[in-house]
Amino acid sequence: MLELKGIWKNYNPGSVNELCLFRDFSLTVRDGEFVSVVGSNGSGKTSMLNIICGSIDIDQGQILINGEDIVKQKDFLRQRRIGRVYQDPSKGTCPSMTILENMSIADNKGKPYNLGRGVNKAKVEQYRAMLRPLNLNLEDKMGVLVGALSGGQRQALALLMATMTPIDFLILDEHTAALDPKTAEIIMELTDKVVREKGITTIMVTHNLRYAVEYGNRLIMMHEGKVIVDKAGEEKACVETEEIMGIFNRISVECGN
């Protein structure tokens, strides 16, 4: 279980651009939940993900994973239990290395690196078996540089690599935003399949309200560093895209957008 308790985050303190985004912000994500997060730009969605992953520090509060406070834990240590897929397909993979080399690196996540070969050729068939269900023919391109793949292929590979080792949480940071509509649909279907099969607790930030409604078992909307909508289980299953759009538009009008 993930708990954010009493989070305070102030940007540019003491300057004319000072902004207190989070004021005593709290959120609990239970094991097995697939949470879709929506909200306008500046609502705190990505900042929340960065706080969880350790990319930005907080001024006050607790970040608890299964009761353990990880506020002072370095981001690289958090990554051992957190998988993250970014909006930019190039961020989750190394373009100058082959698919095999990328998967080998992901497979060694959290393990000590001793002197020896970085690629275990004995695992090539195992990696091919992992790639085959993607239906992107990547299993036949193990020696191809990842930089030569399409954006959709790279994002599918990044999703697979993020979940290769046992993790507590999967963080999806607008991971379909840079893809064309058809490819985005494929990646969302793949995401849903991976999350269901592995039972990974997942937080997905998205600007696509339909995806937020159709996928996952909980939906939250953020605004000015607060959760203003929180629907889970049966209540979430009854939500319509038009309802969320209506709330979103009302907030935009009130803010003068």
- pLDDT value, residue 48: 96
User: Given the DSSP bridges, would you call strands 218-223 and 34-39 parallel, antiparallel or unpaired?
Assistant: parallel
The yes-or-no verdict on residue 116 having pLDDT over 70 is: no
User: Which residue type, as a one-letter code, is found at position 75?
Assistant: D
The yes-or-no verdict on residue 22 having pLDDT over 80 is: yes
CB 106 within 8 A of CB 158: no
Read off the pLDDT of residues 4-14 as tens digits, 9 standing for 90 and up. 999 999 998 88
Read off the pLDDT of residues 226-250 as tens digits, 9 standing for 90 and up. 999 999 999 999 999 999 999 888 8
Query: All domains of the chain, ordered by start, with CATH?
Result: 2-254 (3.40.50.300)
Selected residue with higher pLDDT from 79 and 159: 159
Q: What is the mean pLDDT of residues 47-68?
A: 94
Q: 37 exposed, middle or buried (CB, 10 Å; 0-12, 13-18, 19+)?
A: buried
- pLDDT value, residue 76: 85
User: Given the DSSP bridges, would you call strands 60-65 and 68-69 parallel, antiparallel or unpaired?
Assistant: antiparallel
Q: What is the pTM of this model?
A: 0.91
